[in-house]
Structure formats: C-alpha cells, structure tokens
Copies of this chain bind each other. A is one copy, B any other.
C-alpha cells in the first residue's frame, strides 16, 4: 500500500517522455491451451488476463516451439529452436549444473544493448551456474527460483534429490520463509517497474503457476470448493495467478505506464498430465495431448499481446505464430536492429497491424526427445507422437508417423499417414532438412554390462557422426550400455556412408571366446546393418589372427537389432575392428543411391 501511494507522485510526464515502449512478458507454467475465460473456459475466473486480451490482440493459433519447460523458455528467449539454443530437454534443477549456453544471445541482451533496464522475476529453469543464471544471460536484475518448480511458501525444490531451498536475488540466495511466492513476485515486478520507470524497461515475468504444486490462496480455494478434483485446485491456482497479474496491471495503470507498455501473455506449453499434478486439471478442449506432446494440446497455447498506445484492442488473429517470434517482433516494435542469426522466429508485427496479413510461417518444425512434428499449411505430421493423457491411444508401430489435416481434424484423431504417403513424404523431407537431432535420446537408465572390453580405452577409431539422434560424437561402443532399437537412443554410434575402423588394447593378454556387435536396422530411417565385420586379434601387437563375417541384408525385420557373433577362441591383448558399411541405401529402398546410415552398439567381448 505504501508503495502504491508513493507511486502516485510520479504518475506524470516523466514516464511518458521515454521513446521506446516498456515490455513485460508474462510467461505462465503448464497453463492449458484453453484455460482462460477469453479462450472459452466457462468455469474459470480470469478477469485480469481477459483484460489484457480486451486491451490487445489474442491469437487462436499461438504455438510454442516445445511442450516442455526448459526448451520452451530457451526458444522464447533466443528466437531459436530449442535444439539450436542448446536445450534439448529439461535442464537440471540442481545447483552447479549449467543450462542454456551463456553464449546464446537472448532477448534480454537485445533489450539491454539498446538501453533497456532488464529484469527477470519468477522461474528460470535454464541453468544453475553463475554463467547460465539470469544475470549471465542479459538480465540486470533477477529474483526467483532456478529449478523447475518450487513450494510457494518454503521456496523449496522437491524431487528425488536433496530437498533444497531455491530462491535467489541476483545470484545470492535469499530467504522469505512462509511468504507466498505469488505475492513476492508481484512486489518484485512492481518494484522493478518503480525503480526503472525513467528508462524503458523489459520484464520477463515467468510465473511458476499453475505448475504443480497446486497451491491456490484461501480465497480461490473457497471460490472453487464445489468443483471436482483435480480441476478444482488447478482452477483455483489459475485464478490465484490471474489475480496477481491484475495487481501488476493495476500498478502500471496507476503509474500511468500502461499505455506505452507492451504486455505479452503466453503459457510455456499445455497443461500437465503428470502424477505430481494429479494426472491433470488443465483443459485443452478439442485439442489432443498435453505437456510433453507435440499434438496441439501440448504446443498450442494462450497467446496475447497488448500495447494500448499502438495496437488494436479486443481483436483476434488466426494466423500462426510461435513463441520464437517474440524476439524479432519486439525488435521491430521497439525499433531495435536485430541481425539474423539462425533464428526461426519471425517478425509478426505485420499481422498485428493488419489482420489480413499473412502469417510469416508457411511451415514450422518441432523436435522434442524422440518426437518431432512438421506443420505446413493445414497438414501436420508428427513423428513418434506422445499423448500423455491417453498413452494407450497410440500404436507404437502404426502411429510412428501420424498425419492429419488440421482443417478437417483439429483433434488429431485419425492418422492419415498410410492414406497419404505423398504428404508424409513431403513433410518428412522437411523434418530431415530442418531437424537437428532428427530422432532423439531414450533416457532409460541402463546398468552397464561388464564384458571383457568394458571401458577399454580406444586407441584410434573413425569418429562417429554428430548429425543424427542427439549423438554426442563420443565413443560409446565399450561403455557397457546396450542400445534400444530406436534411432533416438544415444547409446548408438552413427556413421553416415562411412566405414568404422577402431583399434584397442585390453591392457593385458586375455582369453577371448567371442565378440558380439550390435547393429540397428531401421529402414524407415535409412539405417542399415553393415556389409561385413572383421576382427583381428593379437597377443603382441605384431602378428594378428583374422576373423570375420559377411552379412546379408535381411528385409524382414525393418526395425530391429541385428547382433553379429564372431567366435574367437583365443588369447588377445590388441584388437583391430573393421566394419564395412552399406554406404548407400540399397536398390530396393526408397532412398536408393543416397547415403545410408550405420548404427553400431556395442562391441561386447566375452
């Protein structure tokens, strides 16, 4: 209250004389596709976010580039795909672990470079080292938690690891025991506005709600008390956050700053269907999927921008836009010169000023874990789709490629992949062209198998490709980890149109019975077993005995692991391996004549 009173003193010309508009991006957490009154929710009280829509422009096809927290935030702040921004999944929530590389040029840096005061309040989840925390990424000021979620009263991060406190101001741990984080954030945002009213300011307010734990205030708990769980607590938490946004909007109005402040509202992705969130609570209406899914329910989110001084009020836009667009769009609106630098985000300001303008996106490509998606016009192809709200509704084999036309099937119910191989082919080509990791890692934790060659150091080896499958380019063939039959598994080591030669030293002479090597066959992904495998063993490193096998390409199991056994029955210390790849896709294959992949794992020695 004291703050409000003192504010009235400067509600004046001072605030208006700045040239550039202020910017506040409100980025909520796990808020479902349609979970706002202005998006059609009949059971939610969200008067304040609805007020932003009334004062601005609401998008019906607003997307995020990832349906997971950290990658979504990375893409928002860089305008790049999450993978291009170096964030291929959730980063660690533990202190000392890096996240998005500090070398990324962020929206905050862009704003700061032209004189904006830059502030972050709320969740970060993009790195927990000095360099990758907010002050290292362009924010002058930061207050909030570094991990993926917190208890709103103790500000502790809970998971299976240490139960630890996680609240920071400019890199220094601060304690506000028992104080509601929602209210602390309001104070922080308003204070930042107050402090920086004389120069243009940029505030990234990453509200950690309605992400679990669902902790609404007493007022909203009572308001929704007759609703069934888990919608009850979720809804009350949405209204709790809405009310707090109202307190910031009120403050801007009272300070006379609202007119020239661009307020952007967006959710980081669809609602959570996790067990920690009682398996749900959010609502995506006709849209399939939720958080983690690349169906619409995971990536299509409430998206609003308002700028009373310059933009239309109470309008909607049906053009496609993505969270990556905010950075170039803000550059345009704030008259900042932003050089192109590998960003997929586009300036959507033409659409803002002209409702008939075309979306700058004729297509978009998503990639998250093993999932990927391409939308081109109304066609959308999802690879390895996930639907966390109904995992059993997808057939792992038949639906591995899932094609729909959104104009006919907004709920992405009917897979047209087999009916329209032409469209599948076209969109898949886009994926192969735009995808960085194409397919992705399988995070399952495996116990290393401690065979004779386990952890043996490699003396020399053909370097593996880094092009496919989130591949690290590291040698993983003697790490004891057996790969799964899935190109996304990092345990595979990939070679494109290249043979593999390696030599290693067992350290001492050992009795060796057999060598076993695994190869992936995944013809759909242009991955083929080798032509031949040859092993030479030696006790002294001088005279070698040679063993080998030639393979036939078996077309019967188009997605499987082929293991090649080579009996050795001898003694060895030094070993040379030569694996001859197919190099080109075979004649019968649709990729005939194009480079073929070879995926290898593991070289087991018994």
- Residues from chain B with a CB closer than 8 A to the CB of A463 are 447, 449
| Interface pair B213/A275, CB less than 8 Å apart | no
A178 and B180 alpha carbons, distance in the complex (Å): 7
Render A185-201 as a binary contact track against B, CB cut-off 8 A, 1 for contact: 00000000000000000
In the complex, whether A593 has a CB less than 8 A from a CB of chain B is yes
A161 and B158 alpha carbons, distance in the complex (Å): 12
User: Among A152, A177, A180, A218, which residue has the most Cβ atoms of chain B within 10 A?
Assistant: A177
A162 and B177 alpha carbons, distance in the complex (Å): 23
| Interface pair A177/B213, CB less than 8 Å apart | no
| Interface pair B591/A275, CB less than 8 Å apart | yes
A278-B213 in contact given A175-B221, A218-B177 (Cβ < 8 Å)? no
Contact of A279 among B388, B584, B593 (CB under 8 A): B593
A221 and B154 alpha carbons, distance in the complex (Å): 14
A164 and B151 alpha carbons, distance in the complex (Å): 11
Which B residue sits closest to A183, measured CB to CB? B178
A278-B162 in contact given A153-B151, A213-B156, A215-B156 (Cβ < 8 Å)? yes
**Which residues of A (194-232) have their CB < 8 Å from a CB of B?**
212-215, 217-218, 221, 230
In the complex, whether A276 has a CB less than 8 A from a CB of chain B is yes
Contact of A154 among B153, B160, B163, B447 (CB under 8 A): B153
A466 and B463 alpha carbons, distance in the complex (Å): 31
Give the Cβ gap from A169 to chain B, nearest Cβ, in Å.
16
Contact of A466 among B164, B276, B447 (CB under 8 A): B447
- Residues from chain B with a CB closer than 8 A to the CB of A591 are 275
| Interface pair A158/B217, CB less than 8 Å apart | no
A273 and B594 alpha carbons, distance in the complex (Å): 12
- Residues from chain B with a CB closer than 8 A to the CB of A213 are 154, 156, 158, 163-164
In the complex, whether A592 has a CB less than 8 A from a CB of chain B is yes
- Residues from chain B with a CB closer than 8 A to the CB of A158 are 151, 158, 163, 213
Give the Cβ gap from A388 to chain B, nearest Cβ, in Å.
7
| Interface pair A218/B153, CB less than 8 Å apart | no
A213 and B466 alpha carbons, distance in the complex (Å): 31
Give the Cβ gap from A184 to chain B, nearest Cβ, in Å.
11
| Interface pair A584/B177, CB less than 8 Å apart | no
In the complex, whether A277 has a CB less than 8 A from a CB of chain B is yes
- Residues from chain B with a CB closer than 8 A to the CB of A151 are 151, 153-154, 156, 158
In the complex, whether A570 has a CB less than 8 A from a CB of chain B is no
Which B residue sits closest to A149, measured CB to CB? B163
| Interface pair A178/B153, CB less than 8 Å apart | yes
- Residues from chain B with a CB closer than 8 A to the CB of A449 are 463
Give the Cβ gap from A304 to chain B, nearest Cβ, in Å.
28
Contact of A179 among B178, B212, B221, B592 (CB under 8 A): B178
Render A358-401 as a binary contact track against B, CB cut-off 8 A, 1 for contact: 00000000000000000000000000000010010000000000
A161 and B164 alpha carbons, distance in the complex (Å): 18
Interface size on A, residues (CB 8 A): 43
In the complex, whether A590 has a CB less than 8 A from a CB of chain B is yes
A163-B214 in contact given A177-B153, A275-B591, A584-B391 (Cβ < 8 Å)? yes
- Residues from chain B with a CB closer than 8 A to the CB of A466 are 447
Render A268-297 as a binary contact track against B, CB cut-off 8 A, 1 for contact: 000001011111000000000000000000
Give the Cβ gap from A292 to chain B, nearest Cβ, in Å.
11
- Residues from chain B with a CB closer than 8 A to the CB of A230 are 162
A466 and B160 alpha carbons, distance in the complex (Å): 18
| Interface pair B177/A217, CB less than 8 Å apart | yes
User: Among A151, A175, A277, A591, which residue has the most Cβ atoms of chain B within 10 A?
Assistant: A151
Which B residue sits closest to A162, measured CB to CB? B278
User: Among A160, A213, A230, A388, which residue has the most Cβ atoms of chain B within 10 A?
Assistant: A213
Give the Cβ gap from A524 to chain B, nearest Cβ, in Å.
15
Render A137-174 as a binary contact track against B, CB cut-off 8 A, 1 for contact: 00000000000000111101010111110000000000
Which B residue sits closest to A180, measured CB to CB? B178
Give the Cβ gap from A396 to chain B, nearest Cβ, in Å.
11
| Interface pair B276/A160, CB less than 8 Å apart | yes
A584 and B591 alpha carbons, distance in the complex (Å): 37
Which B residue sits closest to A465, measured CB to CB? B447
Which B residue sits closest to A389, measured CB to CB? B593
A162-B275 in contact given A154-B151, A391-B584 (Cβ < 8 Å)? yes
Give the Cβ gap from A291 to chain B, nearest Cβ, in Å.
13
User: Among A154, A215, A466, which residue has the most Cβ atoms of chain B within 10 A?
Assistant: A154
Query: Footprint of B on A, CB under 8 Å?
Result: 151-154, 156, 158, 160-164, 175, 177-180, 212-215, 217-218, 221, 230, 273, 275-279, 388, 391, 447, 449, 463, 466, 473, 584, 590-594
Q: Which 6 A-B pairs have the closest CB atoms?
A: A153-B153, A158-B158, A163-B213, A153-B154, A178-B178, A162-B278
Pick 21 A–B contacts, CB within 8 A, sort by A: A151-B153, A153-B153, A153-B154, A154-B154, A154-B213, A156-B213, A158-B213, A162-B212, A162-B230, A162-B276, A162-B278, A164-B213, A164-B278, A175-B218, A175-B221, A177-B180, A177-B215, A177-B217, A275-B592, A275-B593, A391-B584
